[in-house]
A and B are shown apart, each in its own frame.
Chain A
Amino acid sequence: MTEQLKMDAPATDRRLDGMAQGLVGAPLDRPEGPLKVTGTATYADEYRIENLAHGMLVRAPGNSGRVRLANREAVAAMPGVLAVIHDPRLLRNPAQGTANKAPVQDPNEAHYLGQPVALVVAESFEQARHAAQSLEIALEGGAPRPVDPETAAYEPQPAKGVDQGDLDDAMAKATHSIDVTYRTPSHSSAPMEPHASIAQWEGEDLTLRGSYQMLKYNRNELADALGIHPDRVRILAPYVGGGFGSKLGLAPEAVAAAIAAKETGRPVSVALTRPQVFETTMRRSETRQRVRLTVDPEGRLTGIGQAALVSNLPGEVFSEPVLQATHFLYAGENRRLSLDLARVHRLCAGSVRAPGEAVGITVLECAMDELAEAAGIDPVELRRRNIPEKDPESGKEFSSRRFREALDSGAEAFGWKDRPATRSRREGEWWIGYGMASAARINVLKESRARVTLAPDGTARVETDMTDIGTGTYAILGQIAGEMLGLPRESVEVVLGDTDLPAAAGSGGSWGASSSGTSVYVACQAIRAQLAQRLGVAETDLTLRDGQAVFDNRTESLAAILNGDEIVKEGHVLPGETSKAVRQATFGAYFVEVAVNGVTGETRVRRMHGSFAAGRILNAKTARSQCLGGMIFGIGMALTEEMAFDDRDGHLANHNLAEYHIPVNADVPQITVELLEERDDWASPLQAKGIGELGICGAAGAIVNAIYNATGVRVRDFPATLDKVLAGL
């Protein structure tokens, strides 16, 4: 029995506020925590399956030419080798998030250096690794390929831009203006768990234990890649060791494992090596962004221009949506935003945590800092003056927006008023500076389903193919169900990560919690209605708490009401008119103190604070952790992270964690996070919006702005490594 909600009208009833269990929003521990801290949560490549064989992918050593396996027979004869697979169904690159079908499959031609073109399967991991390393890939008849986005052919993406008013005229007439060009390099998601799949066939039915974020899409992508019906495919991913976009779409190892398992008649595990994670999963596109901003004498924006160049492999439709939040963050009647997509033979570009805003708002916020200085206005004040009344392009109202409060509250909490003048505060060798930036990220609701079972003993089970990639899904779905059904958290079991369960929105785009949470809410509403019906009262007059129903001054236990029955409901949410009627987004502000070494140019983040508004917070502990994670991604973006491509062949040179520098513990201070109270009735009946990505959407800008305040050095080429700072010191 499915209960459906199409989100066509704002949920002004705010039912969660009237519930009695007190779970939603509470900073509860993750229920799966004891498994994770003991190493007993089972990730993809950790199932002990009898007769398991091991596969290792083999890469193309160049970016062009027909692929030939030069010594295939010799490798096939190596000790332990079971198969050398060079199947036309092997993926060139992963599927894009929500693609729902297979990406390009072409192991017969090299498109980029690092592309997986073959798989070697052996009895043991050690044998497979050595045999794979022994397989010689010859590339024949290749030709030079464009690898540099700034010189390659590009395709304009007019649907993502806007041209409103006359920006050139605004520039000419402006009291103050800036015209600056920034560059951001490619970033890697670099989740700690490398992508891995174990494939196992029973007849024509495939079970894949994988590390994926969006199982309903991944199932269809896998089935499409293999040429079989999706009903034949089951994917299991109860624990996922981080994703950050890289596990949105099906990756090459899954298809390779499935083909190998079929061919060898054995279950096969294929785990990517760390260099393969870097080379064969998604990169965030590098960007070049020209930003033009103009203000009138009162510091009100009159024009905004952002012209971005991004890149991807030929055949990929994804273009980094750099302008996504620039469209609505600030006022300004003359607007010209444009996006160009260059075609290059570097590894595939796709979603990495907060595609679009992570780089688009970061650069916009650096430009705003430059404008504030040019206009002689405090950076916080400049932003306050330019909060638009309505969406400045569509004219739509904002659903809810505590942007001004985030700016003010964050500034207060941080002590922004003590910001030093540029290059004026020094402690020994260290220059000290403050910087700030706004945060903005679009909010999205996606179709999602969940089944909730209220058992005769008054416990509940939530089941959905939703994933928990560290995002707190196990925690929040249990809290929502417990709140709605009046059950202690311990009385709710949450089962995730299995495509046999109702299909959820998946983890990505910050929509997982509100979408899957709403499906649980809808199912629980239906259960409440049934309980109320049994009691002969209106559902709204029913109070559920601690396994008891309170109504008409009476109290009865759920077990008694159920009388041996169970109630099973499936909740199904669909986005509707509220997604179009208003502008939905999340907002916030970052404040940072840095110390920059006057001798070496090294930067240390000494303090960092974020104030965020993302609708109702479902679990204050896990939400805060998500914000911390985003902000620390921002530290990496600002200071160290860069995929270094060789300009001659487009290969990724630093494809390991020793030289692709994600932040370590010592790079990170004890960051503070403030979550502002907010209800967004348009977003979902939970009044919650996404929070998984908001923390990164501008954070790096605050750091680079702080470096400027400390030293007077404006770094416009991310990351602000010491050599770039030093050049200006």
Chain B
Amino acid sequence: MQTSLTINGTARELDLDPRTSLLDALRHHLGLTGTKKGCDHGQCGACTALVNGRRVNACLSLLCMHDGDEVTTIEGLGQPGALSPMQQAFVEKDGFQCGYCTPGQICSATAMLEEIAQGWPSHVTEDLEAQPELTIEEISERMSGNLCRCSAYPNIVDAIRKAAGETA
């Protein structure tokens, strides 16, 4: 199945088995292994990537459905030596241990700050019509789609607050 899309700013043409997930296309065919496979069923968030600016589970999407889309993976957010502020904050706050869920956490956190800026409510937002604040409770709820078995959650929250310019 012929698919054309943009990944981290680069146009890509792929002709793959239609069964290929976006995640497996990245990992098996493009060498972009920063997007991780933790469960392959939308139950862990390790495969979180940005599609047209929104965070999604790359495992629950077929590559052929993304013709014309813009995909940003962890590799597109920063590189060693040129870390994004979120990546830097994760390093400083030890927002990971084994590192396997980390790219998904960082993609998710990066998108989350934008979602809050745009006023998206969450399950814990008290007033659905008010601008949500970057509280610990809001961050925790909004990051609950990214499991971390090393359980760096408190440090992940601190890292996100740091990246957002809050005191952590």
Contacts and interface: CB of A to CB of B under 8 A. Distances in A.
Interface string B82-111: 010001101110101111111100100000
5 contacts: A126-B24, A192-B148, A274-B41, A628-B155, A666-B141
A271 B73 CA distance: 22
Contacts of A41: 99
Interface stretch (B29-37, B113-121, B126-134): B29-37
A35 interface: yes
A671 B152 CA distance: 10
Interface string A6-39: 0000000000000000000000011011111111
Given A37-B78, A671-B154, 17 more contacts: A30-B94, A33-B96, A37-B74, A38-B77, A39-B35, A41-B99, A46-B27, A191-B100, A192-B38, A192-B98, A194-B39, A242-B100, A274-B44, A625-B150, A625-B155, A656-B43, A657-B43
Contact of A36 (B79, B99, B136, B156): B99
A38 B80 contact: yes
A330 interface: no
Q: Which among A39, A471, A662, A666 has the greatest number of chain B C-beta atoms within 10 A? A: A39
Contacts of B139: 665
A34 B99 CA distance: 10
Contact of B152 (A35, A38, A629, A658): A629
Given A29-B92, A34-B91, A632-B153, A194 B31 contact: no
A663 interface: yes
A36 B141 CA distance: 24
Contacts of B35: 39
A35 B96 CA distance: 12
Contact of B98 (A37, A193, A621, A670): A193
B28 to A, nearest CB: 6
Nearest to A471: B97
B87 A38 contact: yes
Contacts of A633: 151
Nearest to B159: A37
B33 A39 contact: yes
Interface in B4-52: 17, 19-20, 24, 27-28, 31-41, 43-44, 46
Contacts of B83: 34, 37-38
B99 A665 contact: no
A572 B97 CA distance: 27
A665 B97 contact: no
Q: Interface residues of A: mostly helix, strand, loop or mixed?
A: loop
Contacts of A48: 31
A193 B34 contact: no
B152 A32 contact: no
A288 to B, nearest CB: 27
Interface string B143-163: 111111111111111100000
Contacts, number: 194
A629 B19 CA distance: 37
Q: For the complex of A and B, list the 4 residue pairs with the smallest distance between their C-beta atoms, beginning with the closest.
A: A39-B34, A241-B100, A470-B98, A36-B99
Contacts of A242: 97-98, 100, 149-150
Interface in A47-99: 48
Interface in A246-280: 271, 273-274
Given A274-B43, A662-B147, A37 B90 contact: yes
Contacts of A665: 139-141, 143-144, 146, 148, 153, 156-157
B165 interface: no
A274 B39 contact: yes
A622 interface: yes
A38 B151 contact: no
Interface string A117-147: 0000000111100100000000000000000
A657 B39 contact: yes
Contact of A38 (B40, B74, B149): B74
A191 B46 CA distance: 12
A668 B36 CA distance: 23
A126 B75 contact: no
A40 interface: yes
Contacts of B43: 274, 656-658
Q: Which among B81, B152, B158 has the greatest number of chain A C-beta atoms within 10 A? A: B152
Contacts of A239: 98-99
A707 B109 CA distance: 32
**Chain A, interface residues (CB within 8 Å), range:** 35 or more
Contacts of A33: 90-91, 96
Contacts of A45: 37
A210 interface: no
Nearest to B17: A126
Q: Which among A34, A125, A622, A658 has the greatest number of chain B C-beta atoms within 10 A? A: A34
A511 interface: no
A281 to B, nearest CB: 13
Interface in A519-552: none
Contacts of B33: 39, 42-43, 46
A35 B78 CA distance: 10
Nearest to B152: A625
Nearest to B106: A37
A192 B153 contact: no
A497 interface: no
Given A35-B80, A244-B149, A658 B75 contact: no
B26 to A, nearest CB: 10
B153 A43 contact: no
A473 B66 CA distance: 40
A123 to B, nearest CB: 10
Given A274-B41, A656-B39, A43 B100 contact: yes
Contacts of B88: 37
A469 interface: yes
A472 interface: yes
Nearest to A632: B151
A695 B94 CA distance: 17
Nearest to A52: B28
Nearest to A244: B149
A621 B89 CA distance: 14
Contacts of B136: 670
B98 A469 contact: yes
B37 A32 contact: no
B6 to A, nearest CB: 18
B148 to A, nearest CB: 7
Nearest to A274: B39
Interface string A445-469: 0000000000000000000000001
A126 B19 contact: yes
B31 to A, nearest CB: 5
Contact of A192 (B27, B32, B91, B101): B101
B97 A126 contact: no
B44 A657 contact: yes
Contacts of B81: 34
Interface string A138-162: 0000000000000000000000000
A240 B41 contact: no
A375 interface: no
Interface in B51-83: 73-75, 77-81, 83
Contact of B28 (A42, A125, A626): A125
Contact of B150 (A39, A470, A670): A470
A628 B151 contact: yes
A190 interface: yes
A2 to B, nearest CB: 31
Given A29-B92, A665-B153, A668-B153, A39 B98 contact: no
A664 interface: yes
Contacts of A127: 17
B23 to A, nearest CB: 11
A35 B44 CA distance: 21
A38 B75 contact: yes
Contacts of B34: 38-40
Contact of B94 (A274, A622, A668): A622
Nearest to B142: A665
